[in-house]
Structure formats: C-alpha cells, structure tokens
Chains A and B, each alone.
Chain A
Amino acid sequence: MHEHVESVITQHQVIKEKGCITCHDPHASDFNHQLKQDTLNLCLECHESIGEIVKNALVSHGAVAEDNKCANCHSPHGSDMPDMLLDEEMTLCLDCHDKPMDTPRGRIIDMKTWIENNPERHGPIREGNCTLCHQPHGSDHFRILAYEFPHKFYSPFSVEAYALCFQCHEDTLVLDEQTTALTDFRNGQKNLHYVHVNQKRGRTCRACHEIHAGTKPKRMKDFVPFGIWNYPIGFEIAPNGGKCAPGCHVPRAYDRTQAVIQQ
C-alpha cells in the first residue's frame, strides 16, 4: 500500500498528513475495509462542499448513493488520474453508462454505444470532459446538468434558461438578429439561430441537434420526436449554406453568401 501511495500521480493528502487511521479503524469495525464509517459519510466529513451538493441536490447521481458510493469513481488512497478518479473521466462514466438505465425521470440511453456509433461529437465529448456539462455529485437540473438547460421541445428564450450552453457558446449566437461572425447557420446576414430559438415558443437546441454525438454535420438530427410522431428534419449541408425539409415547415434553403428569398 505504501508503495502504491508513493507511486501514484495524485495522492490522497490525508494519508500523508494524518495517516491511515483517519479513515480506518485498525482493530475492528462494522464497515467494509474497517472503515470508521459508511464510505459516503466518511468522505463528506472532510469534503464538506461536496457534501452540500450531495445532500441538497434535487437530482441525485446513482453512483454517489449506491454500491461503493464515492469509491465507485474515486480511488481513496490515490490514483494516476486528476481528482483521484479510477480512470479517465469519460471512460469511467461510460463504464456504467454502457447500458440503458431506467430512472424516475425517464430512461438514460446506452451512451457508450451511442458515442461509438456516432462520429460527429460535441466538443466536451471529444475532450472526454463529461463534467463540463454534468455535475457528477448531483444537481438541481435534470440529467444532473451543471446549469440550467430547457428539457422540453419548446422554451421561451432567455440567456438564463440556456446557461449550460452559454458556458462555452456566445449568447449572441441567439441574441443577435443579424451576424456574419457568430454562426454559419444564416441566410445572408439573417441569423437563423435567432429565428428558431429566440422566441416565446423557441425551439430548444435539442429540437435540431444531437447533444452528445450524431452522424450528420453540425450533429443535426435525422428526425425530432414530437409527441407521438417523429418529424424528419431532412438537413442537407451545402458549401455556403444548406437546407432543411423538416416536418415543422416547408423545405427551406439558406445561403450565407447570397441570401435565399423564401417563397
């Protein structure tokens, strides 16, 4: 154990500073590994801010509450990963999210297979950085998202409602009616993200885009579920624009260099 702790890249400082008996009872205990307490309570004694998140979260993460709790993801003695994770972040997440899961708030898909089968990946997925969007200890937002994001098809637009996306994307992507810089989704200078999203009944990002990974450019969906129907989107990209033939409206094309006049 000493050799392991010395050799890892990220060491649990409490071992060096306070020793093994901080967490373990050397004589006997009612808990696995002779821990002094249940894993979760033991860790949260020191990691108070995490404890606040875990205890107050409206949406909890099963990995925190079940089985080995904190040790499902973290190595308590030390590891070669940042934050003493057991493995690279996305590899760790997909170790569990490699099968569909039914939750009280709906089904979570087999994310591992989904990502493997869909080569057009969102930036955080390419970086293996799930926690850019998800709060693994628990959150107040659906799917343990770290910030606000609309979970319905339609949503009145506000910058606050899309706080998750605007962590990275410019809010002017949706705020500016006219642009040449912010997006390729424009007809001349007319910003089509503004047209679609910045409404009282705005279409949320998920109406058209796959959030994690897709097969089409810009991760455009093949179809969008709407009630009991699946509306095809029929997106085609072109050198200076593209076109959509969704179930929502008549087929429309857009061109950045020469605005298409819609009939």
Chain B
Amino acid sequence: MRQFSARLFSFHANLLLLAVVMAIPHPACAVRNLKIGDSLPSFFLPRADGEGGMYNSEELAGQPAVIVFCRPYHQLSLDALKDLEAVASQVGLTKFRLLAVDTKLSTAQEIQATFADEKFHFPILLDPQRTLYEEVGLIVSPTTLLFDAKGGLRFVIASHPHQFRQEVQAQLRFLLGEIDEQTMNEQVHPAVHKIEADMTAAWHLYNLGKKLQNEGKTEQAMSTFEKAVSRYPSLVEGHCSLGFLKFSAGDLDSAAEHFDAALKQNPTFPSAQLGSAIVLARTGEDRKAEQMLLPLVGQPALDGRVRYELGRIYIARGEREKALKFFQDALASIFPEPESVQTPPLTQQ
C-alpha cells in the first residue's frame, strides 16, 4: 500500500509538474533579456490607435498589466489581440492594464488600417526605434507578458498557442487574487486535472477491490477492479489484479489481455511480468515464460511465486533436481525460517 501511495504521489507530482511546465513558459527562453520577477523597462511611446499622444509606462503602475508585442497583417497576432479583447471583456478592463506594442516599425496609419475592422478597447503603441523590443529581447511575435500589480514579470506566453485565451484569463485572475494557483493551473489545463480526478477515483476503486479480495469476495472484487480500469485504463495495478483473478477463474485469454495492458503501460512492472509469464507457461510457451521469470528471482513479494513457477517449468522438462531446488527456495521465501533453524534440503537421500 505504501508503494502504491508513493507511486500515486509521484504520479500526481509529475502531472502537476507537467501542468506547471506547460502553463509557465521558461522566461529565459521566451524573451532574451527579462526573467520572472524583473520589472518592465520604462518607456514613453506614441499611440497608434487613433487616440494620439504618448503612453507612459508609469500609467501601468498599481495594477496587473498585460502587454502583448504584435505585428500588423499577422494572423497569430490578430488572434492574440482578439483573445485579449475577449479576456478584457470577461475580467473587466478597469481591473488591469492592457496594451499592445507594435514590433514591425509600423506607422500609425498602417496600424489603424490593419485593425480597422476590429474594436479593440486598449492602447496600441508604436516602438519606432525598437527600444522596448531590444530591452525585452523579443524572440517571436506575438509575445505576451503579464506583470503583477508591483510591476514584476510573472508569466510569458510566446506566440499564440491553442490554450492562449484560457491561459491569459487564468493567469490574470490569479494576479488579481480572484483564484489561487491550483485553480489557475486547472483552468489553464483543465483536461490534465480532469484526468487526475479520474485517476484518483480509479485508485479508490482499486483499493476497495483489494479489500473485497482480502475478504474473499472474489466476484465483487473483480467487478470493482473492472470499474477501476474502465475509469482509468492506465491503472497498471488494476490490470494486474484483474489478470490474476481471471487466471484463477480459468480465463487465460482474459488474464493475458490484462497483463498485456499492464505491460503496455509499464513494460518493467514485475507483477505484470509475472502474470504474463504464468499465462505463457500454462499455454505451452515455457521458454518465453522462463526468460521472463528468471530476472524476477529475488523480487520482493513475488519471489516465492516466481520460484514456484520456475520449479513447475523445470519439472515439466524433467530437470528434477533443479525443480526441487526452486520449490524448496520458494517455500523458504514464502515461509522464512529464523537463521538459526536448519531446513533440510528436499533432495537429501
């Protein structure tokens, strides 16, 4: 159980790590000159969106800010701007600052022509000397930077990935204090966390199945294990338990299927290897079974059964001495004696 809990914890940790890695692009790669925690370089840039005048970076102070570097006549940039407009509408544009900065040395006329058909309610700035571009160290357009209310860089999104809108919205709401980090991650990658919920439910079912099995309620246990693997097909332990129950019920084909399913998920899972070898041995493929069993000798919790199965194989081949040795070692493994007690060998005359 401890081993399963450790695996479960490790899997959860890996899943969370995956969600975190995918949700937060590595800042040193997504832009060249800023890293997480850095402040936005100050700037004073002309507006290109018809309002005229200049925009001072000091206007960003005191609230979270989203700055997207983009270019005109560029589909990915346009998609990003539309998504940001939608996010602003959902979250409320009074709660944060949003602005776009041109990366293409465009003129105000070009910007206005490009976005003539769009209704963007945020400033679009020009960067005529590419000074901000250089200070940030942009690599691609669009690049979206999210800053907290103190002006520290918190998130960077390069280009326009599929999950752009939900990512920006979740990260912004996190910066606004409306949601916590876990909720943010769940919103950025809902499927990752839904899969996690399925896995948790499957583990509950598996544990129940083991309890029923220990109580001798074999049919109920089998049904519960089947629900577990149906809920989460990657549950290796569930497949193994089903495999052994099916084997006990005489259904070798079904047993083999479950052991194969387990091995597909984890080719080195000892229980699955043992189960698969047992089925192979019963179906006449003793050489293959032997090859699978020999590396498992000494495997904790399985050693007795492994040695017993090898003993059966050698007996069938007529290798009596070898078989008896394995049977004796199997018994010793299952019923260990204190070291001070001598166990007579089975082969003694």
Contacts and interface: CB of A to CB of B under 8 A. Distances in A.
Interface string B18-38: 000110011001101000000
Size class of the contact patch on chain B:
20 to 34
Contacts of A124: 159, 161
Contact of B103 (A127, A167, A170): A170
Interface residues of A, number: 27
B163 A82 contact: yes
Nearest to A8: B194
Given A127-B161, A170-B104, A180-B134, A80 B140 contact: no
B140 A168 contact: yes
Contact of A168 (B159, B189, B194): B159
Contacts of A260: none
Contacts of B76: 167-168
A65 B170 CA distance: 38
B155 to A, nearest CB: 13
B9 to A, nearest CB: 21
B201 interface: no
Contact of A80 (B22, B163, B191): B191
A182 B131 CA distance: 10
Contacts of B26: 126
Given A168-B76, A168-B140, A170-B104, A127 B158 contact: yes
B134 A181 contact: yes
A10 B134 CA distance: 41
Interface in A177-224: 180-182, 184
B130 interface: yes
B159 A181 contact: no
B195 A80 contact: yes
A83 B163 CA distance: 11
In order of increasing CB-CB distance, the 7 nearest A-B pairs are: A181-B134, A168-B140, A80-B191, A181-B130, A127-B161, A123-B158, A129-B161
15 contacts: A9-B190, A88-B22, A123-B139, A126-B21, A126-B30, A128-B161, A129-B161, A129-B162, A168-B76, A168-B159, A170-B103, A170-B138, A172-B105, A181-B130, A184-B137
